Amino acid sequence: MKLTELFQRGEFVVTCEVGPPKGFHIEHLLHEVETYLKDRVTAVNVTDNQSSVMRLGSLATCKALKDKGLTPIFQLTCRDRNRIALQSDILSAAMLGIENLLLLTGDHTRMGDNPQAKPVFDLDSVSLIHMVKKLEQGEDLAGNALEGEPPKFAKGAVVSACSDSVDVQLAKMERKVKAGAEYFQTQAVYEPEKFIKFMEKAKQFGVPVMLGIVIPKNAGMAKYMNDNVAGINVPQEMIEELKKDKEKTKAGITGVEISARLIKECKQYCQGVHIMALGWESKVPDILAQAGI
């Protein structure tokens, strides 16, 4: 099922991100997904060597999820593949019956666990979206015809809604929409007022936007994200709130409460929510219940 069809029906779409393991054993991942996410989220989004850390492939993991009856979203970054490999992987996804894509530039190889690697970036996110659209029209990026019926996907992209240079991000978002992006998910949001302002400006593009949530596990994680992750700012009051969590040994309950609160405050302004649980998939049902979804 394509996410775009659900957006068109006016459904509030809920997706959750999972990161494949650093190895090929995915029993644990499948167990977590089946226990905590199946029937609770619309689709499961599989990262592509997230943060440039080498892991099991997104495409293979998507196939395993599909076999378990879930709807996977195939994340594809430009960091590791040239346009031939990217197009080939898109066709492979089509053959495996994967209908949802999230198309990204990707972090630089220097950010990850194989920093010696050559970064590819043959294409970037905008030209990647353009490329998928061309495949959907029955030809490859160079204009050569595909055999048979062309594939059709729901083409997703990302935007940093609370970036310190949100106007530069909005300009890129516009380019992505023009290239063919059909829905967006945002980087983690901790400042609803900034997100609402962003949505007022993003409305003009007429594409559905999913609020990005990273569950704040503790104060240390929040501070780390403030120092190291682009487009994320966890306000000081929220860090204080998380510190109290530890004092009362509530072990993550505050993170769940904050996530649910953020969703409640923002949901009337957006068309869905995308939760990046970073291993805390078990908290997702609670978050959704508390947020009234």
Partner 1 sequence: MLITQLKSKDTIDTLIKGKTVIINCHGCKEVCFPEHEAAELQKELSATGNIMEVITRDYICNPDNLRLQLQKYMAKINASDIVMVFSCGVGVQTVAEYLEDKKVYSGCDTYPLPGFQGVTPLEFACGQCGECYLNYTGGICPITACSKSLINGQCGGSKNGKCEVDKDMDCGWERIYRKLEKMDRLDTLNYPAKVRKFWNPDADPPKVD
Is residue 257 involved in binding partner 1 (CB under 8 A)? Answer: no
Is residue 178 involved in binding partner 1 (CB under 8 A)? Answer: yes
Do residues 218 and 246 make contact, with C-beta atoms less than 8 angstroms apart? yes
| Only segment of 95-103, 128-136, 242-250, 281-289 that touches partner 1 (CB under 8 A) | 128-136
Is residue 110 involved in binding partner 1 (CB under 8 A)? Answer: yes
DSSP-derived secondary structure letter, 145: B
Angstrom distance (rounded) from CA 96 to CA 107? 26
Do residues 245 and 172 make contact, with C-beta atoms less than 8 angstroms apart? no
Ramachandran region, residue 252 (left: φ > 0; alpha: ψ -120 to 50; beta: rest): left
In the list 164, 193, 200, 240, the residue contacting partner 1 (rule: CB under 8 A) is 164
Q: Could you identify the residue written with the tokens 């569950």?
A: 215
In the list 53, 229, 278, 293, the residue contacting partner 1 (rule: CB under 8 A) is 229
In the list 53, 60, 96, 111, the residue contacting partner 1 (rule: CB under 8 A) is 111
| Only segment of 84-92, 165-173, 200-208, 274-282 that touches partner 1 (CB under 8 A) | 165-173
Token pair in block for residue 138 = 């029955």
Angstrom distance (rounded) from CA 26 to CA 216? 25
Buried b (16+ CB within 10 A) or exposed e, 184-199: bbbbbbbbbeebbebb
Is residue 127 involved in binding partner 1 (CB under 8 A)? Answer: yes
In angstroms, give the least distance from the CB of 256 to partner 1. 26
Nearer to partner 1, 169 or 254 (CB): 169
Q: What angle (nearest 5°) sits at the alpha carbon of residue 184, between those of residues 178 and 185?
A: 155
| Only segment of 18-26, 89-97, 189-197, 224-232 that touches partner 1 (CB under 8 A) | 224-232
In the list 129, 234, 242, 284, the residue contacting partner 1 (rule: CB under 8 A) is 129
Going from the C-alpha of 42 to that of each of 37, 94, 261, the distances in angstroms are 9, 19, 20
Token pair in block for residue 116 = 């010696």
* Residues near partner 1 (CB under 8 A): 83, 105, 107-108, 110-111, 119, 121-127, 129-131, 141, 158-160, 163-165, 167-169, 171-172, 175, 178-179, 187, 229-231
